[in-house]
Structures are given as structure tokens and as C-alpha cells.
Amino acid sequence: MKSPASFDAAATSALLDFNGEAVVYCRGIANGDAQEYAMEYARALRSRAKGIESTAARFSAHLFEPDRNLIKGMLDRMYRKYFAA
């Protein structure tokens, strides 16, 4: 059985690792609208990991659904990597 302190340390470590990978991914997106959406979606996932409800990421009318799906898919995979159910 893990102590609460070790759980908190593991959760904090996973959150930092996810954040580091997500930020690098988001910064690598050239399209400004897509990058903004990716950052908002990553923030929503960080909030979920902390147990905080957040609103859905907003997107520009200039960001097409295939691009949104690609961003969501990539960030969701990163999330599962660090926060497996």
C-alpha cells in the first residue's frame, strides 16, 4: 500500500512529465489557431489529471476538424501514457 506522500509525488511527477511533452508538442505547431487550441486542450487535460473539471477547449473557425482531431488524438495519447486508467 502506497502512502499519500508517495502517491502525491508520483502524480506530481506524471503531471510534470506530461506537461513537458505537451508543451514541446504544442510549440512545434506552426499554425497559430491550431497551437492555441492545442495549448487549451493540454490545459484541460492537466486539469482533468488534477481532478478539476474544466470547460472544453475553444477552437477558431479557421481550425478544421481533421486538425482538431489530430491534436486531440496526440494529446490524448500523451495523457494516457502518464495517467493510465
What is the mean pLDDT for each group of 10 consecutive residues in the chain (85 residues)?
60 94 96 94 92 77 90 96 85
Q: What pLDDT does 17 receive?
A: 96
Domain boundaries, the chain: 4-82
Cell of 5: 506522500
What pTM was computed for the model? 0.84
How far is 37 from 76, CA to CA, in rounded Å? 14
